[in-house]
Amino acid sequence: MTELNLILLGPPGAGKGTQGERLTASEPLEYIVTGEILRAAVREASELGLQAKGYMDEGQLVPDELVIGLILERVRAEQATDGFLLDGFPRNIAQGEALDGALSQLGRDLNGVLLIEVPDEEIVRRLSGRRVSSSGRIYHVEFDPPKVAGKDDVDGTDLIQRDDDKPDTIRKRLAVYHEQTAPLIGYYEERGLLHRFDGTAPADEVEAHVRKTISTLRLEDAV
């Protein structure tokens, strides 16, 4: 199978993690989730975690000098796989350029950018109802509730609300998205890499559309 390298792009709460989990359960892609890598560093209270926590709690991006090297190291380490799905990286043009530079050094291509679009008012509703397990599984109290309230379906551990899912922080994260991350849409669109998905549809529908696009990209890549 030829390599497929993809990015999941979209505002906070668009469903990137939901789709990423579903896709990588069957697609042989290395799933690299920047937010999870940073949250693990915070839990472990590592040097990176201590530096990143304040920015994350405030809804700001963690500075590029902390994030870029860390994520590119992961991308470089995945050379032998069938490709990657990057969730949460790049988050601004500088990160996009750094990724391009690293891929070109490795002689690898970016094959597609999957943009999940959801309006701001829906984002606030989604993120305030989101609950997560310690292993990163994602639920919603209304749209995707666990079988037992407050408990993870797989291991029964308590579900929690992320610190950055409080209304004030959600609004700050949305502002950061529009200001710093949304310019990446044009950056990838002009290179013909962008694929748009209506993220307001039910998660199963979004998944079906994304899978169809991935199949098409695989066929194109095989030609």
Query: What positions carry a catalytic annotation?
Result: 16, 91, 130, 162, 173
Which of 31, 84, 89, 188: binder of ligand AP5 (CB under 6 A)?
A: 89
Going from the C-alpha of 186 to that of each of 14, 60, 113, 191, the distances in angstroms are: 18, 22, 11, 9
Spatial neighbors of 39 by CB under 8 A, at least 6 apart, are: 56, 162
217 labelled ligand-binding: no
CA atoms within 13 Å, Cβ hemisphere of 177:
21
Residue 201 C-beta: closest distance to ligand AP5, Å: 6
Going by the DSSP 8-state scheme, the letter that residue 135 receives in this structure is T
CA-CA distance, 36 to 87, in Å (whole number)?
A: 9
Which of 14, 41, 86, 217: binder of ligand AP5 (CB under 6 A)?
A: 14
Residues numbered 27 to 66 that lie near ligand AP5 (CB under 6 A) are 34-35, 38, 55-56, 59-62
What residues line the site for ligand AP5 (CB under 6 A)? 10, 12-18, 34-35, 38, 55-56, 59-62, 67, 88-89, 91, 95, 126, 129-130, 138-140, 143-144, 164, 173, 199, 202-203, 206
